[in-house]
Structure 1
Amino acid sequence: MNRNLQRLTELASRSERRIIGLMSGTSLDGLDVALCRISGSGEDTNVTLTHFATVPYTDDLKAEIRKVFAKKDIDFQHLCLLNPYIGQIHGRMILDCLNRWNLTPDDVDLVASHGQTVFHAPKSQHGLAKFPNATLQIGDGDHVAVTSGIITLSDFRQKHLAKGGEGAPLAVYGDYFIFSKRGENRLMLNMGGIANFTYLPGSLNAAEVFTTDTGPGNTLIDAFARRFFDQPFDEGGRIAARGRVNEDLLRILKKDPFFTTAFPKTTGPELFSLDYVRQAQQRSQTTSLTAEDLMATLTRFSADTIADALKSAIQPGETYHIYMSGGGMHNPVLTGAIREQLPEARFSSTDELGISGDAKEAVLFAVLANEAVAGGTTSFGDRQGVPTVSMGKISFPF
């Protein structure tokens, strides 16, 4: 037997695996690196986060990614070059983290690499009848594996697409395995560049679980913070707090058909872009808004569309606990506006559940890798958006 396959067989039979989850989202701020100890699989999954770091992207790397990020027309050679380049960079980032944690590659069993999203194109968005749902993450898994010296699972979203999903959000699987609790309805709200949530019923019935994007989280806030204030994001919501929400612009921003499309659905910065906001300003005759007022309005736009989506999932007479994660949870202007619209719900971060809200997405990919190697038996029924599927392509380091 090939020694790599033998190694996988041994890992599958172990009681515990040490897995690094990697996540870099649409904010392009850096790579989240989460080292987890994971035992069991499926509903018996148990996760302990032992080490976590966010390794910042350099300004040069951000600039290189933005040449192709969420753009229909690009230099194809540049995309081709970025794929191995980012894989090598992510591999070196793993090694740097392990060195900082006084560990070696031999202390890690698997890497679960999400890659860097550069384009998301569900059929509902591209509108081309003969083509299926599509998404593209770069940062080749073979390069991650060879550079780090660790067996790597990557390209998780393609199997989701192949089974009829839109390739996102994938958090539903890990959310269900590690955060479900009998007797408590939970909504796992992640506010990254795009916001999404997973509904976890207190009944623990996997067939009732669903996940959906809600629209923009931080993507527009971050884009205009860079444009007008030369800041990567609105730290603590301080810029938005200085402005006033413009109701005319807010009304037009909310008019996109995405917001009336039934769950589950996905989207990305391909739709919610600088042009989207410019067109809304022209239509609402608000092109002369101050930068602070625009930031306040965009923050409310995210808050209102998140709250509206959550309300759609809440049933009268039921109680819900909303657990927040992602960069948006650190913006009190954003979270405060959401809380105001859901006064009956209880809010906290996933830190309360033992997983840092900043690390959660990286941890969830580690869980997906664990399922691919040692699980894959849980049925989520046959519903749109949550296909029963095992995800991740395997790359060997030698």
Structure 2
Amino acid sequence: MRILGLMSGTSHDGIDAAVIEFAPDGDGLTARTLFHDSTPYAPELRARLVAALPPSPTTLDEITRLDALIGRAFADVAAAAIARVGGVDLIVSHGQTVYHWVEPDTGAARGTLQLGQPAWIAETTGVPVVSDVRSRDIAAGGQGAPLVGLLDGLVLAGRAGTPAALNLGGISNITVVAEGADAVRAWDIGPANALIDAVVQQRGAHPAGYDADGRIAASGRVDEALLRVLLDEPYYRLRPPKSTGKELFHPEYIAAAQRRAGTALSTRDLVATLTELTVRTVADAAREAGVTELFVSGGGAHNPVIMDGLARALAPVPVRRTDELGLGGDEKEALLMALVGWCTWHGLPASLPSATGARAPRVLGSITPGAGPLRLPEPRAMPRFLRTAR
């Protein structure tokens, strides 16, 4: 079965697409990547999207327009990907998260909103679309995130010790795989690139809008006073399962922290301090979980300041990229969406209560029919592992 996974993460920079061919492999599954690409948002669309994000005010008029415009952008990416591979059986679109409602005192998730109307994708391609993949888990008492525990648990199954997978997008999340009833645990740690990118974009420090190759951080010095204030964030003391996003970690959050610390840092020193915040919070989480090896994906995996900092902080625990598992770090989230869709199509739950905190596993998402009749196969057994191939 060929499935196109579409994903735009908390960096809000564009749309990742991956066409995955799934095939049975004994009591497991093989996932072969046929195509992968990343398409930046048009600058004017990205500017409108960023302007509508909290804590900025917005309107229902703008939300409606963005839902259609992002849906059309996803549809264009889907059509281009399908043309490259000659057809797919299913599309799974995560859409663009614009708000993740979490109660600050209890850490309970109450709702989530992803824009990118799936009807545009179905109408453009004629292919059925699975979307809104987080809401059912939240309705079942879960966080709705991170869902990547499903993929990480299957890929890391059978490895010795306590392996873990770390994704460094706008937010850092970790999956820890150990022995026992709750073998797979996953949670959002805190900001990975979200605060760093916010400073770089706000101050025009790099035309790409992020700290390319960690050069800005490498040229600055960590301010320990500000770092202490940042590390005092109550979210870090919540116990997993837990999730967070740019609703908490946004530009005004940085400004408020600097006021509390009594600092007004240069761009270089501020980026260096925020980069160290990512290293410290991830290393603390990995050590507390007893991680014995760590595999890293996402944009932050390309930042040598973060990667070298994690290697030093966690030594002798090896810190490597997920590419060594045959899982390209830049395509991982689109592959996850394809896997979620494969589960939904076959009547299988894709949420893990030990990772999200839901009352029980749930089949995720809603299906928008394509051009023809909608025919679902009989449910099948959950795969016990996943092998990746190219």
Answer whether TM exceeds 0.5 for this pair. Answer: yes
Q: CA deviation at 1:97?
A: 2.8
Amino acid at match of 2:185: F
Shifted more, 211-220 versus 388-397: the winner is: 388-397
Question: Does the Cα contact within 8 Å between 1:114 and 1:156 map onto a contact in 2?
Answer: yes
Shifted more, 367-376 versus 326-335: the winner is: 367-376
Shifted more, 382-391 versus 152-161: the winner is: 382-391
Distance in 2, matches of 1:206 and 1:374, equals: 24
Provide the TM-score with structure 2 as the length reference.
Answer: 0.89
1:359 to 311, 331, 356: 331
Rate the CA distance shift 1:56–1:384 in 2: closer, same or farther, 3 A: closer
Amino acid at match of 1:74: T
Instruction: Provide structure 1 residue ranges, at least 5 long, that are not aligned to the other structure.
Output: 1-16
Partner of 1:133, secondary structure, is: strand
Question: Does the Cα contact within 8 Å between 1:113 and 1:154 map onto a contact in 2?
Answer: yes
Question: Does the Cα contact within 8 Å between 1:87 and 1:140 map onto a contact in 2?
Answer: yes
Shifted more, 234-243 versus 302-311: the winner is: 302-311
Q: Deviations over 1:327-382 (max 9, x none)?
A: 00000101111111110211211111111000001101100100111251689567
**Aligned residue number for residue 96 of structure 2:** 116
Rate the CA distance shift 1:150–1:125 in 2: closer, same or farther, 3 A: farther
Rate the CA distance shift 1:50–1:373 in 2: closer, same or farther, 3 A: same
Distance in 2, matches of 1:77 and 1:324, equals: 39
Question: Does the Cα contact within 8 Å between 1:239 and 1:296 map onto a contact in 2?
Answer: yes
Distance in 2, matches of 1:347 and 1:305, equals: 15
Rate the CA distance shift 1:28–1:380 in 2: closer, same or farther, 3 A: closer
**Aligned residue number for residue 4 of structure 1:** none
Question: Does the Cα contact within 8 Å between 1:70 and 1:120 map onto a contact in 2?
Answer: no
**Aligned residue number for residue 298 of structure 1:** 274
Distance in 2, matches of 1:359 and 1:380, equals: 22
**Aligned residue number for residue 37 of structure 1:** 21
Q: Deviations over 1:290-322 (max 9, x none)?
A: 1100110010011111111111111xxxx6121
Distance in 1, matches of 2:283 and 2:67, equals: 36
Partner of 1:223, secondary structure, is: helix
Distance in 2, matches of 1:23 and 1:195, equals: 16
Question: Does the Cα contact within 8 Å between 1:20 and 1:33 map onto a contact in 2?
Answer: yes
1:240 and 2:217 correspond: yes
Task: Give the alignment's Cα RMSD to 1 decimal.
Answer: 2.2
1:217 and 2:192 correspond: yes
Q: Deviations over 1:234-281 (max 9, x none)?
A: 000001111000000000011111011111211111111111111111
Distance in 2, matches of 1:274 and 1:50, equals: 38
Amino acid at match of 2:102: P
Distance in 2, matches of 1:284 and 1:377, equals: 46
Provide the TM-score with structure 1 as the length reference.
Answer: 0.87
Q: CA deviation at 1:284?
A: 0.9
Amino acid at match of 2:182: A
Amino acid at match of 1:67: A
1:311 and 2:287 correspond: yes
Partner of 1:118, secondary structure, is: strand
Rate the CA distance shift 1:253–1:144 in 2: closer, same or farther, 3 A: same
**Aligned residue number for residue 183 of structure 2:** 208
Q: CA deviation at 1:209?
A: 1.1
1:332 and 2:304 correspond: yes
**Aligned residue number for residue 170 of structure 2:** 193
Rate the CA distance shift 1:334–1:382 in 2: closer, same or farther, 3 A: closer
Question: Does the Cα contact within 8 Å between 2:295 and 2:319 map onto a contact in 1?
Answer: yes
Amino acid at match of 2:77: M
Q: CA deviation at 1:178?
A: 3.2
Distance in 1, matches of 2:241 and 2:262, equals: 33
Residues 40-119 of structure 1 aligned to structure 2 (within 5 Å):
40=24, 44-71=28-55, 73-99=57-83, 101=84, 103-104=85-86, 107-119=87-99
Distance in 1, matches of 2:25 and 2:368, equals: 21
Partner of 1:51, secondary structure, is: strand
Say how many residue pairs are matched: 368
Distance in 2, matches of 1:250 and 1:41, equals: 48
Matched residues, percent identical?
A: 36
Shifted more, 146-155 versus 190-199: the winner is: 146-155
Q: CA deviation at 1:42?
A: 11
Partner of 2:15, secondary structure, is: strand
Distance in 2, matches of 1:42 and 1:384, equals: 28
Q: Which has the higher helix share?
A: 1
Rate the CA distance shift 1:261–1:300 in 2: closer, same or farther, 3 A: same
Q: CA deviation at 1:183?
A: 2.8
Question: Does the Cα contact within 8 Å between 2:150 and 2:351 map onto a contact in 1?
Answer: no
Runs of 4 or more off by more than 6 Å in structure 1? none
Distance in 2, matches of 1:280 and 1:344, equals: 33
1:397 and 2:377 correspond: no
Question: Does the Cα contact within 8 Å between 2:109 and 2:142 map onto a contact in 1?
Answer: no
